[in-house]
Structure 1
Amino acid sequence: MSNEPSITALISALEEQRYQAMQSNDLENIQRLLHPELSYVHSSGKVDNRDSFMKNLRDGLSIYHRIQHVVHKVHQSGDTAMVFGEMVADITSHGVAKTIQNRTLNVWLRTGMNWQLFAYQPTPIATRSSSLPACGE
């Protein structure tokens, strides 16, 4: 199924809303955008469901100071949209400040009229000074 431009724009806007909400610790909007059966994999390999992810944010265990993200491609099939992109963030995780740089695969599901993030899978990448090409190069 080919993507309609409106789906790409909608999902890209939802990605922007989610990252903005994470950066501003807007818990209400974050929860609204997350599917009840969320599987959120962190760069460390740790996996959270929606409840444990939200608890980490509420308790200040995961703090997102700066997030930059790029959506490279959105592919829709029925009520599922897959987002291929990159994300760089300055975070504090369990008291440790770090910068993460990941290629990402995000899966959004449509339930009724709403889209929610169902799965997040990052893959850490080496810094741009490495021999690895940027996504799409």
Structure 2
Amino acid sequence: MIAKKLLFFLLALGLLTTVDSLAQNGDQGVAQAVEKLRKLMIDPDKAGLEAIASDRLSYGHSSGKIEDKAAFVEALTSGASDFKSIELTDQTITVVDNTALVRHKLTGETIDKGNTGQVKIGVLLVWVKQKNDWKLLARQAVKVQ
């Protein structure tokens, strides 16, 4: 009887460790995708942006403007949206099945028609796992103080 209880305990412990490990790996994969997006927004690459964004992307700006995937990629690669630096803070990641919610604060330096500016926004990103890659499905930004 003691052997059965010990075996059950060890199996349960192993299962919990595996579930925790999978959750952490999911968080790490999402964090890596967020960092890749941050770098692509500073140094845009059309192929990279198209690869990281879902074909059904809905990209909301703090101004209320909403872009689809094509407009999002065009704005960054054309320089219409030009980030010189981006810093992300207070990031949280919640993974549920094949969907991840990421919230963070974004501060950065922009250049708009030759004029430098500062941006400080709160961001919600929605990522979906397609095959083995995290794809950005939605983004909404709001102005913060």
- TM tier relative to shorter chain: 0.7 to 0.9
Q: Which runs of 5+ in 1 are unaligned?
A: 127-137
Q: CA RMSD in A?
A: 2.0
Distance in 2, Cα, partners of 1:9 & 1:78: 14
Counterpart for residue 133 of structure 2: 114
Contact 2:60–2:141 (Cα < 8 Å) also in 1: yes
- Going from structure 1 to structure 2, the CA distance change for 1:55 and 1:47 (only over 3 Å counts) comes to same
Instruction: Return 36-45 or 65-74, whichever deviates more.
Output: 65-74
Measured after TM superposition, the shift of residue 66 of structure 1 is: 0.5
The alpha-carbon deviation at position 71 of structure 1 amounts to: 5.3
Report the Cα distance in structure 2 between the residues aligned to 1:68 and 1:51, rounded to whole angstroms: 25
Give the structure-1-normalised TM-score.
0.83
Unaligned 5+ segments in structure 2 are 1-18
Which deviates the most, 1-10 or 39-48? Answer: 1-10
Structure 1 position 57 matched with structure 2 position 115: no
Offset, 1:17:
0.7
The C-alpha deviation readout for 1:84-128, integer Å capped at 9, x for no partner, is 1111111124555321111111000111221100011111101xx
Once residues 38 and 66 of structure 1 are traced to their aligned partners in structure 2, the CA distance between those partners, rounded to angstroms, is 23
TM-score (norm 2): 0.79
Question: What is the aligned partner in structure 2 of residue 36 from structure 1?
Answer: 55
1:8-87 equivalence runs, <5 A: 8-70=27-89, 72-87=91-106
Letter in 2 for 1:98: G
1:101 alignment partner AA: K
Identity %: 21
Matched positions, count:
126
* Higher-Rg member (1/2): 2
SS state at 1:4 partner? helix
| Secondary structure at the counterpart of residue 62 of structure 1 | coil
Aligned mates of 2:35, 2:97 — CA distance in 1: 22
**Higher helix proportion:** 2
Instruction: Give yes or no for the alignment of 1:4 onto 2:26.
Output: no
AA aligned opposite 1:27: K
